[in-house]
Amino acid sequence: EVDLILLTHGHGDHTADVVSISKRTGATVVAVFELATLLNWRGAKTHGVGLGGTYRFGDLKVKYTLAFHSSSLEDEENRNFHYSGMPAGILIMAEGKTIYHAGDTALFSDMKVIGEGHAPALALLPIGDNFTMGPEDALVAAEWIFHFF
């Protein structure tokens, strides 16, 4: 059972089954406004937010943060891309704990601010090293977020 789907950006490896899952389960898809709108037009139940915006779902609170990547939905039939807003990270807060999902991103200095301001207990960091930061930058991000040094 799915109640809520949180998206960081609009690439096919993140969005491929979102509309069908939302239609089948009634789950709300939360994403930046442009991506939420495009998915809503395709039949998903959505809620759009802006960077810095917060969405509440029962006792769960999610806040959208910056990420440095790209965000577009593919239109293979017309060989086109549809702009789908800014990519995002997500702070997921419940029961006094915070998880930071950085999304697909490069290393950026505001990760220090996210660590200082929200003190996440866990951070989900990408390490792909082609479309996102690699292991070395992820180590720096972890040091900044958790203030290891």
In the chain, the number of structural domains is 1
Residue 41, Cβ density class (10 Å: 0-12 exposed, 13-18 middle, ≥19 buried): exposed
Domain that holds residue 78: 4-146
pLDDT tens for 87-136 read 999 999 999 999 999 999 999 999 999 999 999 999 999 999 999 999 99
CATH number at residue 79: 3.60.15.10
pLDDT tens for 50-91 read 999 999 999 999 999 999 998 988 888 888 898 999 999 999
